[in-house]
Structure 1
Amino acid sequence: MFQPDLLKGKRILVTGGGTGLGRSMTHRYLELGANVVICGRREDVLKQTAEELAKETGGEIETVGCDVRMADAVEAMMDRIWAKRPLDILVNNAAGQILAQTHKMSSRAIDAVLGIVLHGSAYCTVAAGRRWIDAGERNKVVMSILTVSSLTGAPFTVPSAMAKAGVLAMTKSLAVEWGPKGIRTCAI
């Protein structure tokens, strides 16, 4: 469907890239010729995923352990990534979900999901955007993964829906603010 070298020369960071949707996207990006960096909290999972995907695709993949809930950790990760080569694309994929009756959720449960999804996406986006803007780089992309419940609502997923709705608001706002600077923001 796509040219095999469609993403050749592009450097992509996929947050939460060690498992699930992040792993699947990373696999496809590698098949299309991208250099991919995956990050997550569990470095052993990242390393195993990187080994498997490199073997399956022959692509170039790197891992960086990072808890995206921590702004300082995100800045350190971005410094490490940029030291080798700047990113072209950021994929905000890291997520958390707690299925529970909302009235029975603790503040810690709510904060855990908001921390990963909302704060993590914001920290990664601002860290990448700052570097692109300061360097005058254009043709960069931030792609954030949403959920239907952020638009429609759904029972038992309130923290995730709230956080993803915030990511959508960030995406729309930055499309206006950063678009003229050559940075596209989109959400799927």
Structure 2
Amino acid sequence: MSAFKDGLLAGKTAFVAGGTSGINLGIAKRFAELGARVAVAGRDPDKARRAAESIGPDALGLSADVRDYAAIRAAMEQVTEAFGAMDIVVSGAAGNFLAPAAAMSANAFKTVVDIDLNGTFNVFRGCYDLLNKPGASLIAITAGQAVNAMPLQIHACAAKAGVNQVVRVLAMEWGPEVRVNGISPGPIEDTEGMARLAPDPTTRARHHERIPMRRWGRIAEVAEAAVFLCSPSAEYVTGTILDCDGGSQLGDATRRDVGKGLA
């Protein structure tokens, strides 16, 4: 069930970096369903092509690595040549794995920071003069690690904290012509990350118990949050990180029922 009317994004052009799979592909598909012209970019050209085909016959699938500013800029120029100036840009490319800091190489740490943090800067800096202004909307996909320290996640925590600050600084510098926000998803079904973190039913059940909503989220729910942030309903929203996480950042909810029924 969606609160958004058909054709809400008709006439808009959207570019989704990292949009060849998972949450980002779900966002791209939802934009297209609501009438936007959509382009997705990822490192693998075949995967980008297949993603575009899954979105619709007019979608563009482009090969570009967000760590390479020149490549991501060239992809964006292709989008504006095909569709005109961009109205919506999502920076969602990310890398992650579990590793203790003492066993992590400097190159492994740098790789995640390069993809998540430097990639977000490259996407947003690269699109600035290609945007329809005023009225353009930029969205970064961040994570709870930005504000909650987590063991085995020093690279992701550092990178996502930086992403949140990129959002806030650009909102200050580029307002009122461009709004800049972030979405922080919680555990989301049918994503590669959760398949790695909870590969079996027992682990999955433990994850569910810790979340106030008692379930993982759905890709479609994150996509709805993205639509909101680039819709007229959010015209006065900028510099905000929207948690779409079922309350998981509030902490472990497994003990919430303790004391029920006591006077």
TM-score, reference length from structure 2? 0.66
Gaps of 5+ in 1: none
Asked which structure has the greater CA Rg, the reply is 2
Give the equivalent residue in structure 1 for 2:73. 75
Match of residue 241 from structure 2? none
- Who is 1:15 aligned against? 17
Which secondary structure does the structure 2 equivalent of 1:9 belong to? Answer: coil
Q: 2: distance between equivalents of 1:22 and 1:60? A: 18
Whole-angstrom distance in 1 between the partners of 2:116 and 2:153 = 13
Partner residue of 1:91?
Answer: 90
**After the TM superposition, which residues 23-172 of structure 1 pair with which residues of structure 2 at under 5 Å, given as runs?**
23-54=25-56, 60-84=58-82, 85-132=84-131, 137-172=133-168
* CA displacement 1:92-137 (0-9 Å, x = unmatched): 11100021111111111111111111111101101112334xxx82
**Partner Cα separation in structure 2 for residue 52 and residue 81 of structure 1:** 18
Q: Distance in 2 between matches of 1:93 and 1:79?
A: 19
Structure 1 residue aligned with 2:203: none
Partners of 2:111 and 2:45 in 1: how far apart? 19
Q: Is the 8 A contact 2:49 2:62 kept in 1?
A: no
Superposition RMSD in Å: 1.4
- Amino acid paired to 2:41: C
Cα distance in structure 1, aligned partners of 2:99 and 2:162: 20
Does the aligned pair in 1 maintain the 2:51–2:61 contact within 8 Å?
no
Structure 1 counterpart of 2:179: 184
The number of equivalent residue pairs is 180
Runs of 4+ that moved beyond 3 A: none
Given that 1:34 and 1:60 are in contact with CA atoms closer than 8 Å, whether structure 2 keeps it comes out as no
* Matched residue SS, 2:175: helix
Query: Which residue does the alignment assign to 2:252?
Result: none
Query: Is contact 1:113–1:160 with CA below 8 Å preserved after alignment?
Result: yes
Identity of aligned residues (%): 31
Query: What is the alpha-carbon distance in structure 1 between the residues aligned to residue 159 and residue 52 of structure 2?
Result: 28
